[in-house]
Amino acid sequence: MKLPLDVALSVTGATLLDGNVAPPTVRVSTDTRAIEPGDAFVALRGERFDGHDFAAEAVRRGAAMLVLERRKPESEGVATMLVANARAAYMALAGAARARYRGKIAAITGSAGKTTTKTLLAQLLAPRYGDRIASTPENENNELGVSKLLLSASNAAHEVLVIEMGARHYGDIAALVEIARPEIGVLTNVGDAHVEIMGSRERLAETKWALFGRGARAVLNAADALSRRRARALATPPHWFGANGDALDSYAGLAPLTVVAGTRRIFHRSNGGTIEIATDVRLPGPHNRDNLAAAIAAALELDVSLEALVAAVPGLQLPRGRYDRIAVRKGLQIIYDAYNASASGTIAALDAFAAETATRRIAVLASMAELGDESRDLHERVGAHAAGRVDVLLVRGEFAAELARGAQRAGLAQQRIVHVGTNAQAASWLREHANPGDVVLLKGSRKYKLEEIVEELRT
């Protein structure tokens, strides 16, 4: 989206240099590889890069304006917006783009299931909106990713934006909501992710709940105790969702309520009564039925009919890295679900894995990150949960001992627990011991790069 120059200057508080050659409108880019003639290049800084080093390259590629924190000699004669902080300016420009966007915006956050829910919602919106939907690529869910999506939106091309919002620090969601101002806010759950960084579960809850700080209609998990408690403070009653077949009885009085009951039925309760529709859910695991219920509830709020949604359900696809089924050699399958891991997410993956038909179910669990003082207890809890769902457990990482201890205390024999120090060791063990008919789950924090096990087994 292009912004008038005077709007860009106003929202960023920039000083304009060489204004005589400044373009009348501003289309923002932060990547010199994607620069188009006439663009304004924002020189962002990160831990391992400084966009100011690429200012000259941006001009060579056609940038008509630079947004800099400090003047560079090579920017002489090039229209330049001089700002105090390029990242803050980028977010301010995104907020200005949002103010000019006339379509609808749904934002999604939560401790687990954000990316999957976002991906499912984007697919479910297609029956009504076709290709006039834009959503967060991969998991570009921080202030830069959200700003990028808002600045790329077009009133001509997009009727709905589906924005994933992540939080690694206290207050992050409030900053994202301030620029995106969503009409619909989906909170998948409030769990254990990033407790260490947030400082406490209450601060984590406050951060997530900021999703509704600008008046977004809430779509909430009926099974989430914190959401049930905090919902009383909302100005408008939320749209509840769930994936428990007994949820209609368990959550009497909640309406609207959308429930995915098993793999064959969807219920929707409104003040006008309850509708039951047959369906065919092909997503693995109860946790993905939760994500699906959240996406259906949000799509209903975005005016897609329940009938159209149910018809779309059988063709839904999970995002890459979530329960990917990979054949690495004849008769042996890997389920790669290691894009990232929280305790609740790992438990959910193990529950889905337990339903796999296999000679043996072998899980490779790497440690989880950023759990703070609860790290040891949560790893033991995950290990105990694995004990009743796998035949063999491989553990690695900082809290491998806790995973093993939890599994052994829950009844998994010690000889069925294998400690591995590296991904190469895990792959070597699987190459030697895994047999045709076995299924292997890979789950762990992103830092452990469990995809290397897949690559090793393919060679």
Q: What is the CATH number of the domain that holds 126?
A: 3.40.1190.10
Q: Which domain holds residue 126?
A: 101-315
Of the candidates 383, 357, 402, 356, the one whose C-alpha atom is nearest the C-alpha of residue 443 is: 383
Which amino acid, 8? A
Q: What is the pLDDT of residues 312-358, one digit of tens each?
A: 999 999 998 899 999 988 789 999 999 888 898 899 999 999 999 99
Residue 111 and residue 251 share a domain: yes
Q: What is the pLDDT of residues 242-251, one digit of tens each?
A: 997 666 777 8
Residue 195 predicted with pLDDT over 80 = no
Residue 192 predicted with pLDDT over 90 = no
Q: How confident is the model at residue 9 (pLDDT cuts 50, 70, 90)?
A: very high
Q: What is the pLDDT of residues 412-452, one digit of tens each?
A: 999 999 999 999 999 999 999 999 999 999 999 999 999 99
- Backbone CA torsion sign across 102, 108, 114, 116: negative
235 lies in some domain: yes
Q: How confident is the model at residue 271 (pLDDT cuts 50, 70, 90)?
A: confident
92 lies in some domain: no
15 lies in some domain: yes
Count of domains forming the chain: 3
Last residue of a domain, one of 267, 282, 315: 315
Of the candidates 453, 442, 452, the one whose C-alpha atom is nearest the C-alpha of residue 336 is: 442
Residue 177 predicted with pLDDT over 60 = yes
95 lies in some domain: no
The SS3 call for residue 408 is helix
Residue 310 and residue 360 share a domain: no
The SS3 call for residue 206 is helix
Q: How confident is the model at residue 205 (pLDDT cuts 50, 70, 90)?
A: confident
Cβ atoms of 406 and 383 within 8 Å: the answer is yes
Residue 163 and residue 264 share a domain: yes
Residue 244 and residue 167 share a domain: yes
pLDDT at 40: 97
Number of H helices, E strands in the chain: 17, 22
Mean model confidence pLDDT for the chain:
93
pLDDT at 381: 97
Give this prediction's pTM: 0.89
pLDDT at 365: 98
Which residue is associated with the tokens 């808002």? 150
Last residue of a domain, one of 35, 59, 85: 85
Euclidean distance between CA atoms 148 and 142, whole angstroms: 10
Q: What is the pLDDT of residues 356-366, one digit of tens each?
A: 999 999 999 99
Residue 403 and residue 309 share a domain: no
Percent of the chain beyond pLDDT 90?
Answer: 82
Q: b vs e for 167-203, b when ≥16 Cβ sit within 10 Å of the residue's Cβ? A: beebebbbbbbebbbbbbbbbbbbbbbbbebbeeeeb
pLDDT at 239: 98
Provide mean pLDDT across the span 108-134.
96
